[in-house]
Amino acid sequence: MSVVWVPLETVDSLRLPPDRTASAQARKYVRERMHAWGFDPAICDAELLVSELVTNSVLHARSSVRVEVVRVERGVRVAVYDDSPAVPRVRRYGPDAATGRGMLLVQRIAQRWGVEPCEYGKCVWFEFAVNAGASRLDREQVGEA
């Protein structure tokens, strides 16, 4: 994995309480940052994935959450930090299951994703290369992905 130097003004973060409003606040925050950088084609996918990660943190870590949006060389990285060291797993539940698809969505939609231990828990992140065109979900619907 290569390290990319990112100018400080391209890193931004938001702290959220562990409550039911956190996912909506995270979506709005990610949408606004990505729009400001001109990354509109990937906003819908990023909103979906950050919502899944924040929901996981609120439900399972039961801690405050920090969402970080980082402009990287060819796109954007969104990271969600919480206080639990437990690593989320991609699960394959049956079609009638009400939960358990969040990390599967992250795996299928993000171009890259990972989990890193932190001093007080973990960071789950995903990345998109951003260029002109439709979101990955839109491309898959028309058979281009």
**DSSP secondary structure, 30-62, as one string:** HHHHHHHTT-GGGHHHHHHHHHHHHHHIIIII-
In eight-state DSSP terms, residue 23 is: H
- Tell me what pLDDT residue 101 has: 72
- Tell me what pLDDT residue 129 has: 87
Q: Is the dihedral of CA 96, 98, 100, 103 positive or negative?
A: positive
- Tell me what pLDDT residue 55 has: 93
- Tell me what pLDDT residue 5 has: 47
Residue with structure tokens 């932190």? 118
In eight-state DSSP terms, residue 20 is: T
Q: Per residue of the chain (145 residues), what is the pLDDT tens digit?
A: 444 444 544 567 999 999 999 999 999 999 999 999 889 999 999 999 999 999 999 998 889 999 999 988 888 999 999 999 988 877 776 666 556 677 888 999 999 999 999 988 999 999 988 864 444 444 444 444 4
- Give the chain's domains with CATH numbers: 12-141 (3.30.565.10)
